Amino acid sequence: MQELADRCGLSQPFLSQIENSRAMPSLFALHRVAQALGTTTVGLLDPAYSEVTLVRSDEGEAFLLADGARTRFLTPGEGHRIEANETVAEPNIVSEVIVHEGQEVIRVLEGALEIRLEGRDPIMLLAGDTLSYPSTTPHQWISGDAGARYLIITSPPSF
């Protein structure tokens, strides 16, 4: 357990609390654990795989991404080559900086979202805007004054 804690940057007591269902980590924390274990967050939460999945508009569990932001997995199960997630963020929520393998596409559905890519000026996205970038670049998002609802599509899956 200590080796895993060292690899993912979380404390061993916190990992033990997660394991024993006494703590609910954010998706960012689960993402770090999944990377350390060589899998994805979806693989930790729902390892079942099907080539065809359907998530209706009123279905799918939403998970805490950060305080004030929840993400719903739109491609459940492990084994997909692409991943789509819908995030709803309250106003002015700042995400952790994240880095992972692959390519990422963000499409803002409602509100505004500022994307910060290391080495670049911040990029403001409004409803209808789409941004693509290598997810190996450290990146972070900040929801606008009215919040945001957006899709994140990644290949290969990272969450």
Q: What is the DSSP string of 52-106?
A: S----TT-S-EEEEETTEEEEESS-SS--SSEEEEEEE-TT-BPPPB--SSEEEE
Nearest 10 degrees: CA dihedral of 93, 65, 31, 126? -60
pLDDT at 8: 81
Domains of the chain: 2-155 (2.60.120.10)
Rounded distance, CA 70 to CA 159, Å?
A: 13
Residue 5: what are its φ and ψ, rounded to 5°?
-60, -45
pLDDT at 35: 79
The SS3 assignment for 5 reads helix
Write out residues in the chain with pLDDT < 70, as ranges. 42-50
In our burial notation (b when 16+ CB lie closer than 10 A, e otherwise), range 90-106 reads: eeebbbeebebeeebbb
pLDDT at 43: 67
pLDDT at 124: 98
The SS3 assignment for 156 reads coil
In a 13 Å sphere around the CA of 58, the CA atoms on its Cβ side amount to 0
pLDDT at 116: 98
62 Ramachandran zone, left/alpha/beta (phi>0; psi -120 to 50): beta
